[in-house]
Amino acid sequence: MQGFIDETRLELFSGNGGPGCVSFRREKYVAKGGPDGGDGGRGGNVVFEVKRNLKTFSHLNAKHTFRGKNGQPGMGKKMHGKDGDHAVILVPPGTIIRDFESNDIIKDFSGNVEGETWTFLQGGKGGLGNWHYRTSKKQVPRYAQPGIEGQYAEILLELNMIADVGFVGFPNAGKSSLLKELTNADPKVGAYPFTTKIPNLGMLRIADKDVVLADIPGIIDGASQGAGLGLRFLKHIARTAGLAFMVDLSDPDFLDAFEHLKHELEEFESSLLRKERIIIATKTDLEGTGDALEQLREKYPDEKIIPISVFARTGIDEIKLNLLNMAH
């Protein structure tokens, strides 16, 4: 499994420099004053800025072209034209910039530094105004420099998405149903075990924050030894910030599920149990689940247990908040 790659193509233009100005001083009683044409402003750069609240390129879906503003022309009285604003492109940590044609890596933002900026395309320099060209021989220069043109690039942004929270649970616990409820993902849901055969990723957006959720195939006893589908996919939750253990309250084995899941994870990679976690108790719309929930809470007084029903749409907001807290 190659992991989850997000990709987007962008066209970038830095701004042109503004032209220098040809102008001569006008004063009372002076027929023709000296040259006073100011310089053009410089074009805006194309700049990348790392934002840790972003986890995907979904904020770039609607915009594929970025332009630095052009510098303004110089003006009389040696006034400098205004510099063009930079185009700032926000990207999540881990973004890789590739040249679209050659596929060569141009920049790798693997550091996790919030607010790190990097200038990719410099805006064109503004042209010099005519007053720079005054010499003893040439008192009336009618020439000013044009601005330098901006640069262009076509690039590919690439991101190896790392899920923030992984859903782990027995088959049929309701993992995919919750992913579907919370995110844009559309995983298959079925009333039978092992409906999910490959991990699904979904993105939950709350305010301006992304939370990437991974729904992996159900884990059964012995998964860490290769039983079922679980083992191969556990590695996809190895780098998540947190885990959500899903316990189906209508399953006769509900009281033991958490213990079994923990055991399988520990056998696979014991660091998984040191991750922040919550228990999501599912299907509370079904009969008898109220009692089951009480028993679960008694057995695990130190675990955070959140009851939900995707069918009745209860507990959803609380889940969202907890997932957000685990991710940020």
Ligand X SMILES: Nc1nc2c(ncn2[C@@H]2O[C@H](COP(=O)(O)OP(=O)(O)OP(=O)(O)O)[C@@H](O)[C@H]2O)c(=O)[nH]1
Which residues sit at the interface with Mg ion, rule CB under 5 A?
A: 175-176, 195-196
Query: Using CB under 6 A, which of 195, 205, 306, 316 touches ligand X?
Result: 195
Q: Select the span of 6-14, 54-62, 237-245, 308-316 touching ligand X (CB under 6 A).
A: 308-316
Give 75 or 214: the residue with its C-beta nearer to ligand X.
214
Token code pair at residue 160: 């190896």
For tokens 């693997």, name the residue: 110
Interface pick for ligand X out of 15, 35, 68, 218 (rule CB under 6 A): 218
Interface with ligand X, residue 322, by CB under 6 A = no
Query: Quick one: what does residue 190 bind among Mg ion, ligand X, none, with the CB cut-off 5 to 8 Å set by partner type?
Result: ligand X
Residue 134: how many CB atoms within 10 A of its CB?
14
Please identify the residue of the shown chain whose CB is closest to the bound ligand X.
218
> Which of 76, 193 has the CB closer to ligand X?
193
Q: For 120, what's the count of Cα atoms within 13 Å in the CB-facing half-sphere? A: 31
Alpha carbon distance 224, 215 (integer Å) = 17
List the one residue out of 237, 252, 243 whose CA is nearest residue 280: 243
Closest to 126 measured CA to CA, from 168, 64, 73, 171? 73
Beta carbon of residue 149, minimum distance to ligand X (angstroms, whole number): 55
- Under the criterion CB under 6 A, does residue 217 sit at the interface with ligand X? yes
Binding residues with ligand X: total (CB under 6 A): 24
Closest approach, Cβ 276 to ligand X, in A, equals: 21
Q: Does residue 249 bind ligand X (CB under 6 A)?
A: no
Check binding of 49 to ligand X (CB under 6 A): no
Tell me the residue type at 234: L
With binding defined as CB under 6 A, does residue 174 bind ligand X? yes
Please identify, among the stretches 13-21, 72-80, 191-199, 315-323, the one whose residues bind ligand X according to the rule CB under 6 A: 191-199
Closer to ligand X by CB, 33 or 190: give it: 190
Element housing 317 (H / E):
helix 316-327
- Residue 177 in contact with ligand X, rule: CB under 6 A: yes
Residue 309 contacts ligand X per CB under 6 A: yes
* Burial profile 59-72: b = 16 or more Cβ within 10 angstroms, e = fewer: bbeeeeebbbbbbb
The total of other beta-carbon atoms located within 10 Å of residue 2's CB is 5
> What is the DSSP secondary-structure string of 35-81?
B-PPPPPPPPPEEEEE-TT--SSGGGTT--EEEPPPPPPPBTTTBPP
The residue ranges that bind ligand X (CB under 6 A) are: 169, 171-177, 189-191, 193-196, 217-218, 282-283, 285-286, 309-311
